[in-house]
Amino acid sequence: MGTTLLAAVAALGWGAADYCGARASRNVPAARVVFLSQVLSLPVIAVWLAATAEHGPEPTALAWGFGAGALGLLGLVLLYRTLAAEGIVLVAPVTAVTVAVVPLVVGLAVQTAPGPLALCGVCCAVLSVALVSRAGRIRQATVATRTLLLALAAGGALGLQLVFISHPGPDAGLWPLVGARAVSILCVAPGALRGWPKAGGAPVPWLPVVLAGALDSAAFAFCLFATDQGLLSVVGPIVSLYPAATVVLALVLDGERVTVHQALGLFLGAGALLLVAV
């Protein structure tokens, strides 16, 4: 139950962080929002480290964190390119499901398989991710092979990010997150700071920026705590349910309409959590 709860909290954190980041990016470039939110999240990470770290940074843990940060950035770049192409409605579920399936497959390959009920819950979680991530009615019967490959690559990179950042194990604490943050901040900084501050530009919405960074860092921390206690094949699909939290926030705060398949996905996600927790 502890592992399921930690993974669910991580999913809620990432979903809320995505919502805040999207709100902040309405008038400010997304790269700047990512950069500022991650820089401002460093105090949160420092507090987590002060409360949980039993030793200083280990080169191995930082190296896996560097790899996770690079994979996360690669996944985001590929995802943005994919979303700019045709077949967005088809691509989003493909990417989201791949993010869930990659840690599932890796976990099954290198760890003990979960029990029958938990495995059933994991499958429900993967299906839930696909349903919740659909943006609307599918108008195309097919999607270009290149676009599909980009979607798979984006999901694969983001899924491997979870594998890499959790690989060092419990003894590493949150140091892999430090490595991931260092890579992402350094890589995003040039594009984010180009031409800023600019006279007459839109002001930075600091509240959603700060919330996005803090929630994202907290979600990573809970994800690491979950993988320290439980199986990656279970934690990965559960934390991939984060789009459900984004959808619920958009429904409650923005009055957006939830489609039938998204509502079904939300119910499946809740069922998945119950099955895994049993």
Q: Which pTM value belongs to this model?
A: 0.84
How does the average pLDDT of the chain come out, rounded?
83
d(CA 226, CA 54): 18
Question: pLDDT band at 137, cuts 50/70/90?
Answer: low
Quote the pLDDT of residue 126.
85
Quote the pLDDT of residue 199.
52
Handedness of CA 248, 142, 123, 103 (dihedral sign): negative
Quote the pLDDT of residue 6.
93
As separate numbers, helices (DSSP H) first and strands (DSSP E) second, the chain gives 12, 0
**DSSP 8-class letter at 1:** -
Quote the pLDDT of residue 141.
46
3-state secondary structure of 164: helix
Tokens of residue 249, six digits = 């926030």
3-state secondary structure of 170: helix
d(CA 76, CA 102): 16
Find all residues with CB under 8 Å of 84, minimum gap 6, and list them.
none
Q: Which helix H or strand E contains 118, and what residues bound it?
A: helix 116-133
pLDDT digits (tens, 9 = 90+) for 88-129: 555 667 778 888 889 988 988 888 888 888 889 888 888 888
C-alpha dihedral (271, 272, 275, 278), degrees to nearest 10: -100
d(CA 203, CA 183): 26
Listed residue (141, 174, 212, 209) closest to 61, CA to CA: 174
Among 80-89, 119-128, 187-196, the minimum mean pLDDT is found in 80-89
Tokens of residue 220, six digits = 């990573």
Residue 206 burial (C-beta neighbours within 10 Å; 0-12, 13-18, 19+) = exposed
d(CA 189, CA 276): 40
Question: pLDDT band at 263, cuts 50/70/90?
Answer: confident
33: left (phi over 0), alpha (psi -120 to 50) or beta: alpha
pLDDT digits (tens, 9 = 90+) for 168-182: 888 888 899 999 999
Provide the angle, in degrees to the nearest 10, between the axes of the packed helices 175-193 and 42-52: 170
Number of C-beta neighbours around residue 90 at 10 A: 20
Quote the pLDDT of residue 85.
58
Say which residue, 201 or 45, is predicted with more confidence: 45
- Single-letter amino acid code for the residue at 94: V
Interval 239-248 mean pLDDT: 84
Task: Give the end-to-end CA distance of the chain in Å, rounded to a whole number.
Answer: 7
* CA 136 from centroid of its chain's CA atoms: 21
Tokens of residue 132, six digits = 């919740």
Quote the pLDDT of residue 272.
85
